[in-house]
A and B are shown apart, each in its own frame.
Chain A
């Protein structure tokens, strides 16, 4: 049939052939992405092309925000200035205390021959827009590879941990929020130094502490701080406040819900902490002998 048609009617391969070719290609891409993180590499190439579109899409909202900031009343500004001055005084007082504590801490560490940890450098970045993928909780920020951002950096706001940089493009990068389903943060309870892990459960949902026995010593109102054990999150950053503890008799574990301390849906600016120094290698070759009776 195809061979006897005049060239005018020829349209290349049949639709069915084409759909088979392209859906096989798509499935190959999906598998490739799942196993070899193909997307990251492809994004580096294509995101440059898409950047003008992304910039254009966010330009109107940015313009509105800037205009409203410009038109703010002076009385507002004066009030805010006074408030900030007060906050600065308080912060300075705290800083003095902190310096004393730091000096003391350094001395103690030196005494214990522990390696001291310098405060990390950080960069201020602006949120461009929310990630559009409804399956995850992500933000796109305006610093990328060119500004020295790398995957694994921690994003903070004034009140706590916001998330972690997971993918970097030349001019933008992606921050996964702590409320993302795939995100977890090693924490300890401030009150009693209990170590645990807090899991994200979706953008609008509360965080969860899982796999804790029903009689665990966690109360509503407890603050969870990063424990620094994974070597990615520096120790002592506030993460969440426990909002609800359910100890149902039928469950093996307590249900502990927490609210992030950082206002992860509100700000326009975030702080990116620089990447941590690598921890000493995990001892794989000589595991400790197992204690008997286990």
Chain B
């Protein structure tokens, strides 16, 4: 989170778990076929968010497990999301100290790059298995996800905010 004067409550593992349940739920929502490309990958977005903000609680192993879950839910190649999520979690983690203090709009750019990479990895896997290129529309959801980053971060941090006591 960017440096601020606010006091933040520690995050419980339960909250992280709950946030991923919600993200999986949103990812599983039935979309119209014409708009499926615009659906942002909320699980990937939250993976970046929690890796940046809670690197000791959330990391590569959890991302891998979530990736396998997404693979099973989507019914495509097993390991495709797992590999993509593992890689973006590592990249976010390797620069975590630097990225965590950026303002939200800069973090949004980082999230854009990471999510783009995750989709590129999945596209690469599918194309290496014989699928043909399905058009640049595939990356539209990533752009939308980047726009959603600042509101999402504010929403997540709202839970942690607490009132500053008067005597401070």
Contact = CB atoms under 8 A, between A and B. Distances in A.
A133 interface: yes
Interface string A119-156: 00000000011111111101010000000000000000
Contacts of B89: 19
Interface stretch (B3-11, B77-85, B105-113, B157-165): B77-85
Contact of A131 (B27, B74, B78, B134): B74
A47 to B, nearest CB: 6
Given A34-B129, A138-B75, 16 more contacts: A15-B93, A19-B87, A19-B89, A25-B82, A26-B64, A26-B82, A26-B86, A27-B79, A29-B82, A30-B80, A30-B83, A56-B25, A131-B74, A135-B134, A136-B76, A140-B75
Nearest 7 interchain pairs by C-beta:
A29-B79, A129-B30, A26-B83, A19-B90, A30-B79, A33-B78, A39-B78
Interface in A13-45: 15-16, 18-19, 22-23, 25-30, 32-34, 38-39, 42-43
Contacts, number: 132
A177 B85 CA distance: 29
Nearest to B73: A50
Contacts of A167: 75
Contacts of B25: 53, 56-57
A27 B61 CA distance: 15
B67 to A, nearest CB: 7
Dominant SS at the A interface?
helix
Contacts of B72: 39, 42-43, 46-47, 50
Nearest to B141: A134
B37 A134 contact: yes
Given A27-B83, A57-B29, A204-B33, A22 B77 contact: no
Interface in A213-247: none
Contacts of A22: 60-61, 63-64, 82, 86
A30 B86 contact: no
25 contacts: A18-B61, A19-B86, A19-B89, A22-B60, A26-B64, A29-B68, A29-B79, A30-B79, A30-B125, A34-B77, A34-B129, A39-B71, A42-B68, A42-B78, A43-B75, A53-B25, A57-B28, A128-B30, A130-B33, A131-B75, A134-B134, A134-B138, A135-B76, A181-B132, A202-B134
Contact of A29 (B21, B36, B78, B134): B78
Interface in B26-70: 26-33, 36-37, 39, 56, 59-61, 63-64, 67-69
Interface of A: 11, 15-16, 18-19, 22-23, 25-30, 32-34, 38-39, 42-43, 46-47, 50, 53-54, 56-58, 61, 128-136, 138, 140, 167, 174, 181, 202-204, 265
B30 A133 contact: no
Contacts of A133: 74-76
Nearest to B135: A134
Could you say which of B28, B36, B69 has the most chain A C-beta atoms within 10 Å of its C-beta?
Answer: B28
Contacts of A33: 77-79
A141 to B, nearest CB: 12
Given A11-B56, A19-B60, A134 B28 contact: no
B79 A53 contact: no
B44 to A, nearest CB: 14
A135 B24 CA distance: 20
A28 B83 CA distance: 10
Contacts of B39: 132
A92 to B, nearest CB: 37
A84 to B, nearest CB: 28
B74 A50 contact: no
A18 B60 contact: yes
A109 B95 CA distance: 75
Nearest to A57: B28
Contacts of A174: 75
Could you say which of A32, A47, A53, A58 has the most chain B C-beta atoms within 10 Å of its C-beta?
Answer: A53
Nearest to B122: A135
A26 B79 contact: yes
A132 B31 contact: yes
